[in-house]
Amino acid sequence: ADAALHPLQDTTLGSLTVYVVPETSSLLPQGINVYVGKHRSALVRAVGSLAALQARLREVTQVMSFTAASIAAALSDRVPDGRLSPDARRDLKSSLGYEITFSLLNPDPKSHTVDWDIEGAVNRYVKPVLDKLSLVANFSVDSQILYYAVLGVTPRYDKESSSFLLSAHSLPHVINPVEARLGSSAASLYPVLNFLLYVPERSHSPLYIQDKDGAPVSTNAFHSPRWGGIMVYNVEAPASPQASFPLHVDVDMARVMEVFLAQLRLLFGLSREEVPPEFLLEGPGNEGLADWELDHLLWAHTVENIATVSTTLTSLAQLLDKIGNIVIKDDVASEVYRAVASVQSAVTKLSLGHLHAAFQASKEAVTSSERAFFDPSLLHLLYFPDDQKFAIYIPLFLPMAVPILLSLAKIVRETRMRKKEPTKMD
Inter-residue contact 207 to 155 (CB < 8 Å): yes
In the bound complex, what is the minimum distance in angstroms from residue 99's beta carbon to other proteins? 10
Alpha-carbon distance of 53 to 127, in angstroms, equals: 40
Binding residues for other proteins, total number by CB under 8 A: 52
In the bound complex, what is the minimum distance in angstroms from residue 365's beta carbon to other proteins? 27
Alpha-carbon distance of 276 to 279, in angstroms, equals: 6
Closest to other proteins by CB, 37 or 362: 37
Alpha-carbon distance of 77 to 226, in angstroms, equals: 13
Angle between helices 291-322 and 330-352 (to 10 degrees): 140
183 binds other proteins (CB under 8 A): yes
In the bound complex, what is the minimum distance in angstroms from residue 161's beta carbon to other proteins? 23
Closest to other proteins by CB, 15 or 185: 185
In the bound complex, what is the minimum distance in angstroms from residue 186's beta carbon to other proteins? 4
Output helix, strand, coil percentages for the chain, rounded to the nearest 5.
45, 15, 35
Closest to other proteins by CB, 77 or 131: 131
Closest to other proteins by CB, 99 or 335: 99
| Residue from 50, 51, 187, 327 binding other proteins (CB under 8 A) | 187
What mask, x for binding other proteins by CB under 8 A, covers residues 256 to 275? --x--xx--xx----x---x
> Which DSSP category does 14 fall into?
T
358 binds other proteins (CB under 8 A): no
Residues numbered 288 to 307 that lie near other proteins (CB under 8 A) are 288
186 binds other proteins (CB under 8 A): yes
| Residue from 237, 317, 333, 402 binding other proteins (CB under 8 A) | 402
| Residue from 246, 341, 357, 375 binding other proteins (CB under 8 A) | 246
In the bound complex, what is the minimum distance in angstroms from residue 121's beta carbon to other proteins? 8
Residue 425: φ, ψ to 5°: -75, 145
| Residue from 32, 79, 281, 357 binding other proteins (CB under 8 A) | 281
Angle, CA of 21, 40 and 275, to the nearest 5°: 75
Within 8 A by CB and 6+ apart from 158, the residues are 164, 165
- The verdict on whether omega for the bond into residue 29 sits within 30 degrees of 0, i.e. cis, is no
Chain Cα centroid distance, residue 4: 36
87 binds other proteins (CB under 8 A): no
User: Residue 348, Cβ neighbours under 10 Å: how many?
Assistant: 13
Applying CB under 8 A, the span of 20-28, 59-67, 155-163, 178-186 interacting with other proteins comes to 178-186
| Bridge pairing between strands 221-224 and 228-232 | antiparallel
Q: Both ends of the chain: CA-CA distance in Å? A: 121
What mask, x for binding other proteins by CB under 8 A, covers residues 125 to 164? x--x-----------xxxxxx-xx----------------
Decide: residue 116, CB within 10 A, 0-12 exposed, 13-18 middle, 19+ buried.
Answer: buried
Inter-residue contact 37 to 5 (CB < 8 Å): yes
In the bound complex, what is the minimum distance in angstroms from residue 399's beta carbon to other proteins? 3
| Bridge pairing between strands 112-115 and 247-250 | parallel
List contacts with other proteins (CB under 8 A).
Answer: 101, 109-110, 115, 117-120, 124-125, 128, 140-145, 147-148, 181, 183, 185-188, 246, 248, 250, 253-254, 258, 261-262, 265-266, 271, 275, 281, 283-286, 288, 392, 395-396, 399-400, 402-404, 407
